[in-house]
Amino acid sequence: DIQMTQSPSSLSASVGDKVTITCRTSQSISNYLNWYQQKPGKAPKLLIYAVSSLQSGVPSRFSGSGSGTDFTLTIASLEPEDFATYYCQQSSITPPSLGQGTKLEIK
């Protein structure tokens, strides 16, 4: 199985800040890395697939990068609706594994 390590586990930031969340995998996964956003009481929502492709309807302030085992999710300028928990997920092999989540809170 592939292990996922997300950092930080929590993050406080202000509206307008730029934030970066990191995801590291225990082995190379090529470009099979996806990011999800989850708000309290809601299902996760696909944000970015295949490292850097924005899902339809996702604002352009979200971006993803990386390759191999190290990946990042960047939010260029935080909006109030971006405060949520973010998960990375590898889809290279079964079982698909997810990071433990990064909770983004308002400072």
Q: Residues interacting with other proteins, by CB under 8 A? A: 1, 31-34, 36, 38, 42-46, 49-51, 53, 55, 87, 89, 91, 94-101
Least CB distance to other proteins at residue 94 (A) = 5
Element (DSSP H or E) covering residue 70: strand 70-75
| Torsion angles phi and psi, residue 81, rounded to 5 | -75, -5
Specify the residue, 49 or 83, whose C-beta has the smaller distance to other proteins: 49
C-alpha Rg value of the chain to the nearest Å: 13
Specify the residue, 18 or 70, whose C-beta has the smaller distance to other proteins: 70
Least CB distance to other proteins at residue 39 (A) = 12
Task: For 75-104, give the DSSP string.
Answer: ESS--GGG-SEEEEEE-SSSSPEE---EEE
Least CB distance to other proteins at residue 15 (A) = 26
Residue 95 to residue 107: CA distance in whole angstroms: 36
Specify the residue, 48 or 78, whose C-beta has the smaller distance to other proteins: 48
